[in-house]
Each structure stands twice: as structure tokens, then as C-alpha cells.
Amino acid sequence: MNNITILKRLYRDYTKKYLSKILMSVFFSIILAASTSSVAYLLDPAIKELFINKSQNLIILIPALIILAFIIKGASLYLAKVIMINVSEEVRKDIQTDMFASLIKADTQLVDNKHSGKFIGNLMNDVNMIVNLISTAILNLFKDSLTLIGLLSVMFYQNWKLSLIAIIMIPLASFAARTLGKRIGKVSTQQMQRAGLLTSYLIEIFKNHKLIKIFQKENYEKKRANDLIHTLKEASRKINIVFVRASPIMESLTGIMIALIIFISAKLVINDELEVSNFFSFLAAMMLAYQPVRSLATLNIAVQQGLSGARRIIPIIDDENEIKDSTGAKDLIINNGQIEFEKVEFNYHLNERQILNTINLSIPGRKMTALVGQSGAGKSTILNLIPRFYNVMGGDIKIDNQSIYSSTIFSLRKNISLVSQDTTLFDDTVRNNIAYANLDATQEQIEEAAKFSFADEFIEKLPNKYDTLIGENGVRLSGGEKQRLSIARAILKKSSIILLDEATSSLDAETENKIQKAISFLTQGKTTIVIAHRLSTILNSDKIYVINKGSVIGEGRHDDLLLSSDEYKNFYEKQVKKS
């Protein structure tokens, strides 16, 4: 994506709608330019009439006009900036909203392949660069360009020969800034990448702080943090050094120009080709032009930074979901809830090993089916394919003879609940965590779900009961309590299909017994697929599939599999010993 394409895109999607406000800012920029130019122009009559001719008639008027010019200049600058600040914040909101909307609907695979910290870096730092491009750069372009035109007009009015010499500085400054701008774009990209790495690292540290303490790795993590902070510091240092490189260049050019102007002006005054009043008015205009010339010369730097940020943001906003409704997709209608895997093949990435190899499953409706097998056999992948977190590479999955790929994703997921051993909760109240399944649920329905999941037992003991904040991912609750909230949430959804990634692992006997009862209520009369790690789950299942290396190597009921599958028999005997 080239620079022109990016700028057109930013204008079309984020700036065009605020064009009237931007034009209002341009209007105040015109007033600013006129008032600034008038200050330089008024020095001519001020010196000529007040100091040379010693006129008493204009001794009040000219100073009053100068004061008025500065007041207008300050007011117009304030209004132009305030308008563009409002525009920039609206643009920031629009870009962040679009990016978040893209991320929230993004395919699971996209989110899995990039650390969340890098997305946060994009959302905050890169957006800031784009906003700076759209707001500051646009304002400075108009404000400083118009001011420079006005001051150049004054300069040419006073003496065109001196003006031609003075404007030599403009292309020289522009050439220097263009060179710096290319450099700033490169180091800005490096800085954002390193900022993303640091954000990702900090998220990992906060998430795993107990692990760090128990393995006594504080010093190790300090060193890692120091290394990341150091690399970010170096990137920021390079950017700031590139920024200040403009100062000596501009100061040197200005000094040369002023010296040259004074030298030539002295010659012209001696030869009576220039009046002293004209010279001071010209010099004032040239000195006032220094700021807009410098601003315009460094404008390219802000542009390059903004373009660099846009190159990282726009692909995220434009990301096209692979998992989407097919043309003519219809709502899934579930009667019995029977699920069929027909020659399903799957792998997470192309050119990697196959995870599922021509899998055929027939999962009876309104009954419990267990998946057993070694870790990495493909059990969780099977669960993830049913709600279309991923698409199959080959074959089909049907529910009540309706392909899930011919059904709308909304209607499919509406009929599925997932309870995992890795419980996910929000840093919110108990009530809101349960009601996440149904935001319109009444307090009575929430309490009923909590009762059937046995969550009400501990909720009633919490300081604020259902209004208690549970912390990040439920940090203030035990593992069993978090599981019961998760089950309550699934109960409230009232789905036809329940997916259980064995929710009772690593729990004490009493808690497991309660959760088993809660699961029994949740799954009653529902099509249930469970990844089984516990003996009780296996024995309660109506059908069992033995999965090994992405293939089905056995199926049937418990007693049948003990006779027909050595793999299952071995698995079962290990469970008996554990129990």
C-alpha cells in the first residue's frame, strides 16, 4: 500500500465527514495569517512615521493596531487548534472503534497468532500517530502555509530583491526535512514493534506473577524487562535525535539568511535603494516566517510517522474473516441435536502436520458422548470445530442433517454452550458474569441458574453477594467456584448442545461432586460432547470415541470398548488406579 493510497483511505474513511469543521479551522488559519502579516507590515509606518518623521498623529493608532493584530492572531490560533483537537479526537474514536470491531469479530486463528499486547500497541500507539497526522499535520499545513504566503507578500511588497534571496531557505529546509522524514518513518516502525513487545511482556508478567515468585525468577524477569526497556529506549532516543536534527539545520540556514540579508540591505540603504523602515518591516516578516518554515520543514516527519502507523492499522481493520456465513445461509433449526462428522480433515496451518485425519463421528442427540485419548490426539480440536471457531479443511459437519457451513454462524453458536477447564471470567460482578449468557435475564433467572450450579452456596457468603467484584479472570474465587459460575452461565443460556472440556479436573472430591451434579442438570436432555479425564464421566457416557493421532480408533459403550480396544482398556485401567 503506497503513501497516496493510505492518505486517500484516511481521507475517505476518517476525515471527509469532518470536512466542514476542517474548513472552519482553515478559515481561522486565514485570519491568523492575515493578522501575523499585518504585524510585520505595521512596522514600516511605525518606524517611518513615529521614529523618523516623529509624527504625533499616529502615536496611539499604530500601537493600538499592533495590539489588535496580536489579539486577533491569538484568538484565531486558539479557535483553529480547538476545532482540530475536536476533529482529531473524533478521528481517534472512529479508528479505534473500527479496529476493535474488526478484532472482536476476527477469526480465532488471527487472534491466536498474535500476542494481545501487540494489538493493544496498535490500538493505542499507532492510532496516536495517525491522529497526529490527521490533526496536527493538517492544521500546520494550512496554518503555516497561509501564514508563510502572507509574510512573503509583505516581504515582496517591501523589497523583491531581498525576498528572492530569503526564499532560497525554503527549498533547502524542505530538502533537509524530507531526508529526516524518511529516517523517522523507519525508526518509528522499530519503536512501535518494540513497544508492542514490551506491552506483550507486561501482560505475561501480570498474568504469571505467582509462577515468577514460586520459581524465584524475579531477577531473571528484571533482566528481561531491562533488555526490553533498553531496546525501546534506544528506539525512542533515535526518533528524538532525528527530530532535533532539524534544529541545527534550520538555525544555521536562518543565521546565514539573516547575515546575508543584513549585508545586502546595508548596501541597498547606502545606495538609497531601500528605506530603513522598509528594511525593518521586511526583517520582521522574515523572522516571523521562520516558525512556519520550520514547522512546514518538519511536517514530513509527522506524515511519515502517521503513514507508518496506518500501514499497521489498516490491514487489521480490513482483515476479511475466513469464517463467515456462506451465500444463502439459513438459520440452523435443532430438533434432536444429532451431530455428524463426515470425513473431516483439519490442520491449523498449511504445510503442518494433519491434526484430524478423515474423522467420522456420529454423536447421538440429547445424549452424552465422551472423547478419550492421549493429550494432543485432537479431542479439543473436534470441540472447536463444532461452533466454527475454525473451518474444516475437508469434509463436513452436520447437525440434524443441516451442514453447519450452510447455516448462519449466529444461529449455530446460539445453540451451543462451552464449559472449559480453563474458565474465563470478566473483572466484573458475579451477576454480570452469569448474565453474560443472556443480558436480558432477570435477577430471578440468574439466581435460579446459580442455584442449579450450586454457585449460590458461595455467592451468599460473598461480601456483596451477586454484586461482588471477582477480579481479573475471577482471581478472588477458587477453581471450583469459578467452574460453578461458568456452569451457571451455560445453564442460563439454555443451549441445545453442550461442549465440556472436562470441567472437573484438578478439583477436590467434594467440589467435584457438586460440579458433577451441576453438569448433570446442565446436560439433561441436551446433546453433550465431553472430553473425558475422569472415570465418572466415562461411565456416565452413552457413547465413547477413542481418539489417537487425529483418527478414531474405537467407538461404542464402555463395556464394548473394554473388549474391543486395547487403547481404551489401557486408558480405563489408568483411571481406575487414579481413583
Question: What is this structure's pTM?
Answer: 0.75
Question: Which distant-in-sequence residues (6+ apart) come within 8 Å of 40 by Cβ?
Answer: 151, 154, 281, 284, 285, 288
Q: Which amino acid, one-letter code, is at 297?
A: A
State residue 180's pLDDT score: 62
State residue 577's pLDDT score: 58
Alpha-carbon distances, residue 305 vs 6, 126, 129, 430 (angstroms) = 12, 9, 6, 44
Asked if 318 contacts 99 with a C-beta cutoff of 8 angstroms, the reply is: no
Q: Which residues of the chain have pLDDT under 70?
A: 115, 169-170, 172-186, 188-189, 192, 210, 215, 243, 245-247, 250, 297-298, 350-351, 502-509, 576-579
Residue 543: strand, helix, or coil: strand
| pLDDT tens digits, 84-105 | 989 988 998 998 889 888 888 8
State residue 435's pLDDT score: 94
Give the DSSP letter string of 453-485. TTTHHHHTTSTTGGG-B--GGGTTS-HHHHHHH
| pLDDT tens digits, 113-158 | 776 777 777 778 888 888 888 777 888 888 888 888 898 888 888 8
**Please, is 423 exposed, middle or buried when counting C-beta atoms within 10 Å of its C-beta (0-12, 13-18, 19+)?**
buried
Domains of the chain (ranges, CATH numbers): 9-15+90-134+153-318 (1.20.1560.10), 424-494 (3.40.50.300)
